[in-house]
Amino acid sequence: MKITTDYVVSVEYTLSANTLNQPETLVEQTDIKHPFVFLYGHHGVLPEFELQLKDKAVNDPFDFYIEAENAYGHYENEYHVNLEKQIFQVDGVFDTDRVFVGNRIEMNDANGQPLEGVVTEISASHVKMDFNHPLAGQRLHFVGRVLDVRKATDEELAHGHVHGPHGHHH
């Protein structure tokens, strides 16, 4: 059975990333006990990741790169934002449990869309945050193999995600 739209795909891989002229660093590693499982063709993963796996079958190896522009985009300096410190207050007190340098915080943009940012600096009046994706500006390198390919169930297709072992549970 080959990977195509509406199939559930299970893979094991090592993901490394690097920026120009830098060595690759390990980002994530899955394995046969903890595979990455997704519904192919339903926009749950990077489009280039899917393209590289198309028509592969169980036990097929893969080794490919995804350039930054086809992954999480280039690193953008304008995604560094100074926010008023008062928006991080809880009951009139600055939230030091959640807001500290290096912490990743979930927030919403002006349109109510969720986004995450990393606190990079805290001053007397502002919190500076970086809203770039952690892998922005990096070339991704996936090395692995296909573990399983199966037709998605009608319920999985209706819900748009995998159910059962290693998938979403209701």
Please identify which residue in the block is written with the tokens 């549970």: 169
Same fold, 7-71+135-159 and 77-130: no
Class of domain 7-71+135-159: alpha beta
Number of H helices, E strands in the chain: 2, 11
pTM of the model: 0.85
- pLDDT given for residue 170 in this prediction: 47
Tens of pLDDT, residue by residue over 71-127, are: 999 999 999 999 999 999 999 999 999 999 999 999 998 899 999 999 999 999 999
| Domain 77-130 indexed as CATH 2.40.10.330 | yes
E strand residue ranges, the chain: 7-18, 25-29, 36-39, 61-66, 80-84, 89-90, 93-94, 104-108, 114-122, 126-130, 139-151
Domain segments of the chain as ranges: 7-71+135-159, 77-130
Residue 35 has pLDDT above 50, yes or no: yes
125-135: per-residue pLDDT in tens? 999 999 999 99
Residues 169/163, Cβ–Cβ less than 8 Å:
yes
What pLDDT does 167 receive? 58
